[in-house]
Amino acid sequence: MSLADARAICPDLATRPADLAHEAAALAALRRWASRYAPMVATDGEDGLMADISGVPHLFGGEADLRDDLHARLERAGLHAASAIAGTRGAAHALARHGGGIVPDGKLAEGIGHLPVTALRVDHDTAEALARVGLNRIADLAHLPRAPLSRRFGPGLVLRLDQALGAQSEPVAAEPDAPHFGVRMTLPDPIGLQSDVMAGLERLLERLCAKLVATHMGARRVRLELRRVDRGTAQVEIGLARPMRDPTRIAALFAKGVDEVDSGFGIDALRLTAPVVEPLAPEQIGGPTIRHEDALADLLSSLGNRIGFDRVLRLLPAQSLIPERSHILAPAAYSSPEPPPRRAGVPRPITLFPPEPVTAAAGTPPASFRWRRMRFTTLRATGPERITPEWWFDDPAWRTGLRDYWRIETQEGPRLWLFSTPQADSAQNWYVQGEFA
């Protein structure tokens, strides 16, 4: 039921938001744990697991003992679960969600016949249509001809019914485990020189990048863990501005961090992992020249590891006619460059800055004015370009209303972008906001 209806019945109901990501991770961990009971374990919806235990129960003393062992271990871990054992996947799914139990071999129809038709994994509309004609239980459907059922309620109902009763096969296909991007090396003798550590790192990078190539992935973060002979550990971690799997370019980013590692009495083991990866299509690497995008990525990676990736920014165009909002700042490592949009009309200056007042300005446009302690004489003026503030934003800088922008070429050389606020009553209503190349 909805939360509002539940609170009407139970005002003291305690609720908290669902964390779907953590729940999925917990279910995946539980699936790996459940492999002690079956070689094939698959997820069953968002809250269940399905295991093919064929040939396994005798190792635990029978199906009942296997189920008891499962529940005992889950209870010790603080988990409460309902389970069922049946000859088909559909029957086990239905029974596990309606009390649980064990269905003996050859008695599928009797074991799940008392369950409602919703246990067959049919949609809500089909279940309501079955209820209107008095077919409420699985036993009511088991002996009916399949052709009329399919014509009236669709082939999906017949398929689910036959899967639950064993007339249609439905194998348990376990999802493959996510690849683990990690390699390690144990050394026969301790090492301590930077050159030796870098040599071991290069060998590990070749193996790690081979795994990345096989799965069409690229690393965005690589972590090197060094174990000392005194059981202490040191760690060097780097980030990458774009997905990468080139061992040579990645190794160069580790040089500074490895040089700062305290090796103590020596390092006897190295472990290299890629905790953050992203899809990366096959590409040609290791050519005679470095591509422009690769050189830029190396520069961003080097700067990001020194000062932080959130501090290396790039300008991206924004859909706004307001000069201050015509671009946005975004971390270069987490965004892609975009070409500026095509604009028709008056060109904009190459350099923008917050409006700075000018003094001793008379006329429209001013024949002369002072800005940044310098005096300028207008040689040529183009304009005005009127810009209206975006009324849906409350921007204090634009509360003065309209602005008339002028392109001013001065006798002293600079070409400036001036604007005035014609509706302002004060004498100070001229400002400089940009400079042309």
Which residues are CB-contacts of 222 (< 8 A; sequence separation ≥ 6)? 208, 237, 238, 240, 250, 254, 272, 273, 274
For the chain, the domains span 22-165, 182-307, 351-435
- Sort 220 into a burial class: Cβ within 10 Å, 0-12 / 13-18 / 19+: buried
Name residues whose C-beta falls within 8 Å of residue 25's C-beta, 6 or more positions apart in sequence.
none
Same fold, 22-165 and 182-307: no
Question: Do 69 and 53 form a contact (C-beta atoms < 8 A)?
Answer: no
pLDDT of residue 82: 94
Distance in angstroms (rounded) separating the CA atoms of residues 81 and 37: 15
Q: What is the pLDDT along the chain (437 residues), one digit of tens a residue?
A: 889 999 999 999 999 988 988 999 899 899 999 999 998 899 998 889 999 999 999 999 999 999 999 999 999 999 999 999 999 999 999 999 998 999 998 899 999 999 999 999 999 999 999 999 999 999 999 999 999 999 999 999 999 999 999 999 898 887 777 789 999 999 999 998 999 999 999 999 999 999 999 999 999 999 999 999 998 999 999 999 999 999 999 999 999 999 999 888 999 999 999 999 999 988 765 566 667 788 888 899 999 999 999 999 998 888 888 888 888 889 998 888 888 777 777 788 888 888 899 987 778 888 999 999 999 999 999 989 999 888 888 878 787 788 999 999 999 999 999 998 887 665 568 899 999 98
Q: What is the CATH number of domain 182-307?
A: 3.30.1490.100
| Side chain identity, residue 367 | A
- 385, 343 Cβ separation under 8 angstroms: no
Amino acid (one-letter) located at 171: P
Q: How far apart are CA 418 and CA 431, in angstroms?
A: 6
| Other Cβ atoms within 10 Å of 80 Cβ, number | 7
Nearest Cα residue to 435 out of 412, 409, 396? 409
pLDDT at 288: 62
Structure confidence at residue 290 (pLDDT): 66
Assigned architecture for domain 22-165: Orthogonal Bundle (1.10)
Q: Which residues contact 159 (CB under 8 A, 6 or more apart)?
A: 168
Residue 304, Cβ density class (10 Å: 0-12 exposed, 13-18 middle, ≥19 buried): buried
State the pLDDT at residue 276. 93
Q: To the nearest 5 percent, what fractions of the chain are helix, strand and coil?
A: 35, 25, 40
Q: What is the pLDDT of residue 410?
A: 94
Pairing mode, strands 84-85 and 101-102: parallel
154, 235 contact by CB (below 8 A): no
Instruction: Write down the pLDDT at residue 424.
Output: 67
Query: CA-CA distance, 116 to 104, in Å (whole number)?
Result: 20
The pLDDT value given to residue 433 = 92
